[in-house]
Amino acid sequence: MALVEIERCGEYAVLTLNRPEAMNALSAALKGELAQAVDAMEADPEIRVLILTGAGERAFSAGLDLKELGAGGATVGDSVDAGDPVTALGAFSGPIIGAINGVAITGGFEVAIACDVLIASENARFADTHARVGIMPGWGLSQKLSRMIGISRAKELSLTGNFLSAEQAERWGLVNRVVAPDELLPAARQLAEDMLSVEPQMLKDYLKLIDDGYAASFGEGMAIEAERSAGNAAVSAEDVEARRVAVQARGKAQAG
């Protein structure tokens, strides 16, 4: 049985963490398969968007497999290798949609926020238990979370280990929206199709512009945008007009 199921759907793929009996805990084997799966999707020129979810309705991922760690089957240091899944997710050049179907705890929380956009099931809950387990985060949670929800809220979550409900996560801006469990994957698939409907190279280039600017200061981000927007001069008036008409037609269809 594959620990990461891969479903190719035209230009997007759905990756499913597949250890439901263990709440999709991140064993060494699962981490390796996930990193390999993401690398394979990046190498496939037909795949431009990823959806990442977990098997079942209980858990997206309960985090590192603490039973495996406690039994000496792996070490905490294995989690921050150059080949770890979060590094692989960060290297994927297209957008990644996290379809959070259940709990996302500690390492599972870190995998979730390695995605670009999160949609949550009503069953989703989030928790950072690093402080309770006595392990420092190594996949970016201490830095990313505060930038997503604000430093005070991040401190509250990380210094208590308390759970955050899907509804509260939406209010805090951690997830874009919350849907019923049976609507989660359809919503993620529709979002993937919407992303795929934009200009193909722009999908990658605009995502990179947002990410590069977000990692810099505001002034540096503005300079990066100014530099990269210089290429707009190469876009012909005919192309702009054709795309304007298409945008207008799509807007009318969505309004209807």
Two tokens, residue 210? 């947002």
Q: What is the mean pLDDT of residues 10-20?
A: 97
For the domain covering 4-196, report its CATH number: 3.90.226.10
Pairing of strands 96-100, 164-165: unpaired
State residue 247's pLDDT score.
66
Name the residue ranges covered by the structural domains of the chain. Answer: 4-196, 216-255
- Angle at Cα 124 formed by Cα 88 and Cα 5, nearest 5°? 45
pLDDT attached to residue 239: 65
pLDDT in tens, 98-133: 999 999 999 999 999 999 999 999 999 999 999 999
pLDDT attached to residue 70? 57
pLDDT surpassing 80 at residue 57: yes
Q: Is the pLDDT of residue 79 over 50?
A: no
Report whether 124 contacts 104 (CB < 8 A). yes
How many Cα atoms within 13 Å fall on the side-chain side of residue 117? 20
Match 């997007």 to its residue by tokens.
12
* Cβ partners under 8 Å of residue 248, min gap 6: none
Averaged pLDDT for residues 207-231: 95
CA torsion through residues 157, 158, 162, 166, sign: positive
- Is the separation of the CB atoms in 99 and 119 below 8 Å? yes
- What confidence tens digit (pLDDT) does each residue in 153-212 have? 999 999 999 999 999 999 999 999 999 999 999 999 999 999 999 999 999 999 999 999
